Amino acid sequence: MEASAKNHDIADIGLADDGQKRIEWAERHMPVLRRIKEEFSESKPFDGVTMVCCLHVTTETANLVRTLIAGGADVAVCASNPLSTQDDVAAALVDRYGAEVYAIHGEDNDTYYRHITQAVERKPQITMDDGADVVSVLHSDRTDLLEHVIGGTEETTTGVIRLRALEEEGKLGYPIVAVNDADTKHFFDNRYGTGQSTLDGILRATNVLLAGMTVVVIGYGWCGKGVAMRAKGHGSHVIVCEVDPVRALEAVMDGFEVTTGLDAAKRGDVFISVTGNRDAIAGEMFAEMKSGAIVCNAGHFDVEINKDELDKMTAETFEARPHVTGHKLEDGREIFMLADGRLVNLAAAEGHPAAVMDMSFANQALASEWMVQNAADLEKKVYPVPEDVDAMIARHKLSALGVHIDELTEVQAKYLASWDQGT
Ligand code: ADE
C-alpha cells in the first residue's frame, strides 16, 4: 500500500492490484497528462486545495486524479454514472494513490446521490463534473457549501447545457470552465472517443456483425458524427435522424441517408441515441420497429430512450446476455435494450480509450490550475478553456505522436493580420 487509505465507500479494496495494473497501462497512452503530472509535481498548483471530482471512475480518470494529487490536491472522487464505475480502479485509487472514493459499480440511485453528498461534504474549493451533478447538488440541497467553492470545470456537452441554463437564470454560484468546448476536447473525445467506444460497447454486449446492418444514429453533433462514421466503417448502412437543419444537411453531404425517426424505426437493426435530449427513441418508434431491433444510448443521461413507454408495451423482460435486456412485447416482437438505456460505451465497455482522454483530462488539469491562479478575478460565469491552453495541448499531443508541423513565415503572419492586402 503506497498511501494510507482515505475514507471510502467502494466495492472491494482487494481489487487494487488489478486496478493499478490497468491504470498504469492507460498511463502509457496518456503522454500529455504524464507531462502535466511531472510539471505539477514541481509547481504544486493545488497545495492545500480540496477538489471533488464527479467523473466516470475509469483508468483514465484515475490518471487525472493522480495528476491532481501530484499537484498537491486533496481529492475526493464520486461517480458520474451508477454503471460506469470500474471497481478495481476505485480500489487502487484508495489503496495506492491516496484518494477518497465513493463509488460502486451498479449502485442504486439513492446510493449514487449519497455518494455525491459524501464527497461534497469535504467542502471542495474546486469541483470537477461530468454532467453537472455536483453543481446541481451544491445549488439545491447543499447551498451551505457554495461559499467554499472558488471554481469548477465541466467535462461534457450535457453538463455545459445545464450550466448555461443556471447562468441564464442568474443562479450560477461560482465560475466554471466548460472543458467540453475546448477544441482539443470535443473534436477528439466526442467524435473519435464516442465513435469508437460506443461501437465497442455494442459489440461487447451483443457480438453482432455490423456489416450489412442498418444502423440508425439519432443526433448528429460531434458524438453522433463519430458514431455514424465508425458504423459506416464497419459496413453498416447508416441512417441519421437530426432535428437541426444545418446538421441534417451536413449528414446528407457526409453521405448518410437522413430521415425522420419514425421512418428510420421501420428499417433499423440497431438504434443509437446521441442527442443529449430526452425521448429521442420513444413510443411510436418502438411501435414500428422490427422484431430483433437493438436499442441503446450513448448520451450522458438515461432519458434519451423512453423506457417507461417501452415497458408499457412489454409483456415480459429477460436477460438475453449480460447488458442485453430482451423486451417481449404484447404483439410478440422482441426489442433488445443495451445497458438499461445508460451510456452503452461506459456500461458495456470501458469508455473512451486513454489516448483520447489524454487531451480531455489535460484540459481538466490545466483548467483547474487556471481557476486557482485566477480565482480572485473570475465572475460567476461559464468560461471557455483559455485558447493558449488548448493550443498547447494540441502541440504536446503532436509532439508525443512524433508529428512535426510548419510555422507561418513572418510574411504570412503579417498577411493574415492585414485587411489591405488583396490580390
Ligand atoms: N468518458 C468517456 N470515456 C471516459 C473514460 N474512459 N474515462 C472517463 N470519462 C469518460
280-329 pLDDT per residue, tens:
999 899 999 999 999 999 999 999 999 999 999 999 999 999 999 999 99
- Give the C-alpha separation, 139 to 129, whole Å: 14
Does ligand 1 lie within 6 Å of residue 351's CB atom?
yes
Mutation to probe ligand 1, out of 33, 58, 83 (largest number of atoms < 8 A from CB): 58
Does ligand 1 lie within 6 Å of residue 357's CB atom?
yes
Residue 14: count of CB within 10 angstroms of its CB: 10
| pTM for this prediction | 0.95
Mutation to probe ligand 1, out of 180, 346, 360 (largest number of atoms < 8 A from CB): 346
SS3 249: helix
Spacing, Cα 146 to ligand 1 middle (Å): 27
Q: What is the mean pLDDT of the chain?
A: 96
Does ligand 1 lie within 6 Å of residue 352's CB atom?
yes
Spacing, Cα 283 to ligand 1 middle (Å): 30
Pairing of strands 74-79, 100-102: parallel
Does ligand 1 lie within 6 Å of residue 6's CB atom?
no
In the chain, list all ranges with CATH 3.40.50.720. 192-347
In the chain, list all ranges with CATH 3.40.50.1480. 8-185+352-400
pLDDT of residue 2: 46
Q: pLDDT below 50 — which residues of the chain?
A: 1-2
Does ligand 1 lie within 6 Å of residue 198's CB atom?
no
Among protein residues, the one with the nearest Cα to ligand 1's atom 9 is 56
Spacing, Cα 357 to ligand 1 middle (Å): 7
Task: Give me the residues paired with residue 215 across strands.
Answer: 238, 270
Spacing, Cα 318 to ligand 1 middle (Å): 29
Q: Looking at residue 156, what DSSP letter applies?
A: S
Spacing, Cα 148 to ligand 1 middle (Å): 28
Mutation to probe ligand 1, out of 22, 197, 297 (largest number of atoms < 8 A from CB): 197
Q: Are 208 and 227 in contact (CB under 8 A)?
A: no
Spacing, Cα 290 to ligand 1 middle (Å): 32
Q: Are 374 and 389 in contact (CB under 8 A)?
A: no
Spacing, Cα 9 to ligand 1 middle (Å): 21
Q: Are 293 and 269 in contact (CB under 8 A)?
A: yes
pLDDT tens-digit map of 173-211 = 999 999 999 999 999 999 999 999 999 999 999 999 999
Instruction: Write out the three cell numbers for 323.
Output: 447488458
- Give the C-alpha separation, 168 to 138, whole Å: 17
137 residue type, one letter: V
Instruction: Write out the three cell numbers for 330.
Output: 404484447
Query: Is 3.40.50.720 the CATH classification of the domain at 192-347?
Result: yes
Task: Give me the residues paired with residue 257 across strands.
Answer: 239
Please give the full DSSP string across 106-153, using - where no structure is assigned: T--HHHHHHHHHHHHTT--SEEEESSSHHHHHHTTTTGGGGGG--EEE
CB-side neighbour CA atoms (13 Å) of 189: 23
Task: Give me the residues paired with residue 321 across strands.
Answer: 324
Does ligand 1 lie within 6 Å of residue 60's CB atom?
yes
Residue 258 neighbours by CB under 8 Å, 6+ apart = 239, 240, 241, 242, 248, 251, 252
Does ligand 1 lie within 6 Å of residue 58's CB atom?
yes
Which ligand 1 atom minimizes the distance to the CA of 197? Answer: 3
Residue 140: count of CB within 10 angstroms of its CB: 8
Q: Which CATH architecture has domain 8-185+352-400?
A: 3-Layer(aba) Sandwich (3.40)
Does ligand 1 lie within 6 Å of residue 242's CB atom?
no
Does ligand 1 lie within 6 Å of residue 56's CB atom?
yes
Distance of CA 35 to the CA centre of its chain: 22
Spacing, Cα 60 to ligand 1 middle (Å): 7
Does ligand 1 lie within 6 Å of residue 61's CB atom?
yes
pLDDT of residue 422: 77
Helix H or strand E segment including 55: strand 50-55
Output the CA–CA distances (angstroms, integers) from residue 80 to 61, 86, 104, 119, 230, in the order listed: 11, 12, 11, 12, 26
| Residue 198 phi, psi dihedral angles, 5° rounding | -70, -45
Spacing, Cα 84 to ligand 1 middle (Å): 9
Sign of the alpha-carbon dihedral angle for 201, 206, 209, 212: negative
pLDDT of residue 4: 60
Output the CA–CA distances (angstroms, integers) from residue 224 to 88, 184, 215, 303, 316, in the order listed: 30, 17, 12, 17, 31
Going by C-alpha positions, the residue among 62, 85, 84, 87 that lies closest to residue 75 is 62
Spacing, Cα 354 to ligand 1 middle (Å): 8
Does ligand 1 lie within 6 Å of residue 206's CB atom?
no
